[in-house]
């Protein structure tokens, strides 16, 4: 049996997203995606990194059917993406996207209406919708401003409402496009905590970020986009110790790894010492080595 046949016959049960040879070109001729291949496991935490214009947002919009690729295939949970009206409704329920700019996502008059809109459209009974919406608003600390018009909210509040919009649909995959951008540190941390909680509950999370420190701590896998292609994918340590790759993609090495490198170079840590992901881990490592 050749490799292709063998692969086709294996159950893909632990694969949540499978993308083969994806090409997407905008109407003005911009080739935003130029042959993306990617597999994402159920429950995996994936950080998509890469400079502005490398195709991250375009890729996300292909994943939930907003854009239809000119070439290539996308399967979600073992099923090829179905572009019929019914199929698209289903894929948008399963694959939730939190846009970079919440103003592109929030349309309703009040916060409660905004979060209820999608689930009401799915035809759930009103009472059930109310319960779900109340629960999500409570979890994301939205309740105190639930009656406000969405356009009066602060950036951090809007972002949480946009996340609630997605979570209330109980998606299997949550995509966050640069979730921390334009947020102050306190609200960025709040979003980090929400994302951690999502991962703990087993949801597959994809996010794009320029934050190398965060990606090092959080991600199971980093996928580096470059000019509409996957330049490299791997565990954070595989990405962040590849100096040539960092140079090429203008990525900074996380500071904890810079210090770790420095300590090894000075002979203060043994070569091959277990790689720390946080300052606390590095301190423990250092103290235990002495
Ligand atoms: P990223 O999210 O990594 O910054 P994008 O997916 O937004 O990258 O953009 C990929 C490429 O597609 C860029 O060259 C960008 O200028 C282009 N692009 C994005 N949106 C459009 C659009 N609506 N029409 C034409 N080109 C676009
Ligand atoms: Mg983008």
Average pLDDT along the chain: 91
**Residue among 55, 60, 223, 226 whose CB has most ligand 1 atoms within 8 A, to mutate:** 55
Average pLDDT over residues 176-201: 90
Could you say which ligand is closest to the alpha carbon of residue 31? 1
- CA 136–ligand 2 middle distance (angstroms): 26
**The CA-based dihedral angle spanning residues 19, 35, 54, 276, taken in that order and rounded to the nearest 10 degrees:** 60
Return d(Cα 135, Cα 10) in angstroms, integer.
Answer: 39
Question: CA of 126: how far to CAs of 65, 116, 163, 200, in Å?
Answer: 28, 9, 21, 29
User: Residue of the nearest CA to atom 13 in ligand 1?
Assistant: 53
Average pLDDT over residues 12-33: 94
pLDDT tens for residues 261-285? Answer: 999 999 999 988 888 999 999 999 9
pLDDT given at position 42 = 96
Return d(Cα 165, Cα 279) in angstroms, integer.
Answer: 35
Core vs surface per residue 106-121: b (16+ CB within 10 A) or e: beeeebbbbbbebbee
Any idea which of 6-20, 52-66, 236-250 has the lowest mean pLDDT?
Answer: 6-20
Identify the residue with better confidence: 3 or 207. 207
CA 117, 99, 110, 196 torsion: positive or negative? positive
Could you say which ligand is closest to the alpha carbon of residue 179? 2
Average pLDDT over residues 151-164: 92
- CA 32–ligand 2 middle distance (angstroms): 11
Q: Which residues line the pocket of ligand 1, CB cutoff 6 A?
A: 26, 28, 30, 32, 50, 52-58
For the record, the structure tokens of 250 come out as 């203008």
- CA 30–ligand 2 middle distance (angstroms): 15
Q: What is the 3-state secondary structure (H, E, C) of 150-182?
A: HHHCCHHHHHHHHHHHHHCCCCCEEEEECCCCC
Does residue 72 carry a pLDDT above 60? yes
Return the ∠ at Cα 77 (arms to 75 and 81), rounded to 5°. 35
Average pLDDT over residues 58-69: 97
Domains of the chain in sequence order: 3-253 (3.40.50.300), 254-290 (no CATH)
pLDDT tier at 148, thresholds 50, 70, 90:
very high
């Amino acid at each position: 049996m050749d490799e292709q046949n063998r692969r086709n016959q294996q159950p893909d049960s632990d694969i949540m997203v499978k993308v083969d040879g994806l090409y997407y070109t905008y109407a003005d001729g911009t080739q935003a995606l130029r042959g993306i291949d990617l597999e994402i496991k159920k429950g995996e935490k994936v950080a998509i990194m890469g400079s502005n214009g490398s195709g991250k947002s375009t890729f996300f919009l292909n994943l939930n059917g907003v854009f239809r690729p000119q070439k290539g295939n996308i399967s979600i949970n073992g099923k090829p993406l179905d572009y019929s009206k019914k199929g698209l409704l289903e894929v948008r329920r399963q694959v939730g996207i939190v846009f970079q700019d919440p103003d592109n996502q929030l349309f309703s008059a009040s916060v409660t209406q905004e979060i209820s809109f999608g689930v009401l459209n799915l035809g759930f009974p009103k009472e059930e919708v109310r319960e779900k919406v109340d629960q999500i608003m409570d979890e994301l600390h939205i309740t105190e401003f639930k009656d406000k018009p969405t356009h009066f909210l602060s950036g951090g509040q809007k972002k949480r409402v946009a996340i609630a919009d997605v979570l209330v649909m109980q998606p299997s995959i949550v995509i966050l496009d640069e979730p921390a951008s334009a947020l102050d540190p306190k609200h960025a941390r709040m979003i980090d905590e929400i994302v951690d909680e999502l991962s703990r509950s087993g949801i597959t999370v994809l996010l794009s970020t320029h934050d190398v420190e965060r990606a090092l701590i959080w991600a199971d896998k980093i996928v580096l986009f470059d000019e509409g292609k996957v330049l490299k994918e791997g565990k954070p340590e595989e990405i962040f110790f590849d100096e040539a790759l960092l140079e090429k993609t203008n990525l900074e090495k996380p500071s904890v790894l810079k210090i770790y490198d420095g300590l090894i170079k000075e002979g203060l840590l043994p070569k091959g010492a277990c790689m720390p992901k946080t300052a606390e881990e590095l301190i423990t490592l250092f103290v235990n080595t002495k």
